[in-house]
Amino acid sequence: MADIKGIKTEDPDFFQRAKDLSSKYDVPLIGPEFPDIHINLDNPSVLHFNGMKLVNSFKKGKFYSRITKFQNEALLKKAFALQSAKPKKILDATGGLGHDAFILALLGQKITVVEKNIGLCILLEEALNELPNYSYFDDAVNNITIKNSDSRKFLDSAQAYDVIYVDPMFNSNKRLKRTKQMEFMDKYLAEYDNPSDDFFKSDFRRLVIKKELRAPASIKDSSAISFNGSSIRYDVYTREKK
Ligand SMILES: C[S@@+](CC[C@H](N)C(=O)[O-])C[C@H]1O[C@@H](n2cnc3c(N)ncnc32)[C@H](O)[C@@H]1O
């Protein structure tokens, strides 16, 4: 897996954030002579890797349109059992760009996003930081905690979460239309990691695994229920105490 070697910015408004992120993630601040893999803090921030660019904007594009319709996420609501007014405590064990996590946060859930790639953690931090000042965005941002780690470090605390969520990289390109973001992620992350099996062995209460619609289930278990969408599905395993 590649990761960023530096943080840079040319915009004085971002100098302090660049310093803070550099010290939080232990990544050097860099000047014009920068390594190939770096983040340029800006509005929007850009992750550079081998001549390719990744932007994670929550203010425009496909994800913005998903944000505007967050109340329509019927499949996600069913998979995470979000019927009750009481917010659920969720561990997102494969944070990525934080899209699913942000929708869950807009839906009022408390979510810990664990992502092992520093560049992706910073892109998510910046996407949240660049949101307009509306109270519903502020509430959603306050519902999210970002941790840069291998989520397997949370296996022993699985019982502390109402739901554990795993969205591993899809390794088939047959049915799901590849977006530019997905292609970047394939090349940037390169190796395929999937902590699903490890979480299945943990003391979880509810485990939700995102799959391609037609992909075989990674885990066979009698408690499994699947919620199917048009191109993806959620396989849900429960060990909730009666
Ligand atoms: C398909 S992406 C997740 C996309 C995310 N659900 C979203 O909505 O943006 C998978 C991510 O999981 C991360 N990942 C895979 N295994 C992990 C692990 N054991 N711990 C933390 N992050 C992991 C990868 O680095 C990658 O960024």
Distance of CA 70 to the CA centre of its chain: 16
Q: How many domains does the chain have?
A: 1
Q: What is the mean pLDDT of residues 96-121?
A: 98
Q: Which of 185, 63, 38 is nearest to 128 (CA)?
A: 63
| 100 within domain boundaries | yes
| 35 within domain boundaries | no
Mean pLDDT, the chain, integer? 93
Residue pair 4/122 in contact (Cβ under 8 Å)? The answer is yes
Of 47, 120, 193, the residue with max ligand 1 atoms within 8 A of its CB, to mutate for a pocket test, comes to: 193
| 4 within domain boundaries | no
Residue 79: exposure state from Cβ atoms within 10 A (0-12, 13-18, ≥19): buried
196 lines ligand 1 (CB under 6 A): no
Query: Confidence class of residue 173 from pLDDT cuts 50, 70 and 90?
Result: low
| 224 within domain boundaries | yes
* Ligand 1 centroid to residue 232 C-alpha, Å: 16
Name the strand (E) or helix (H) holding 39.
strand 38-40
Hey, whose CA ends up nearest to atom 26 of ligand 1? 96
Angle at alpha carbon of residue 168, lines to 5 and 136, rounded to 5°: 80
* Ligand 1 centroid to residue 83 C-alpha, Å: 26
Angle at alpha carbon of residue 69, lines to 63 and 70, rounded to 5°: 85
| 107 within domain boundaries | yes
| 134 within domain boundaries | yes
pLDDT digits (tens, 9 = 90+) for 147-157: 999 999 999 99
Query: Confidence class of residue 182 from pLDDT cuts 50, 70 and 90?
Result: confident
The tokens describing 89, both together, are 């405590």
Name the strand (E) or helix (H) holding 74.
helix 74-79
The tokens describing 182, both together, are 């997905």
CATH of the domain at 151: 3.40.50.150
| 28 within domain boundaries | no
Looking at the predicted structure, is the pLDDT value of residue 129 above 70? yes
* Range(s) of the domain holding residue 120: 68-238
| 31 within domain boundaries | no
DSSP percent split of the chain into helix, strand, coil, nearest 5: 35, 20, 45
Distance of CA 239 to the CA centre of its chain: 24
Range list of H helices, 172-238: 180-189, 196-200
Q: Which amino acid is at 75?
A: L
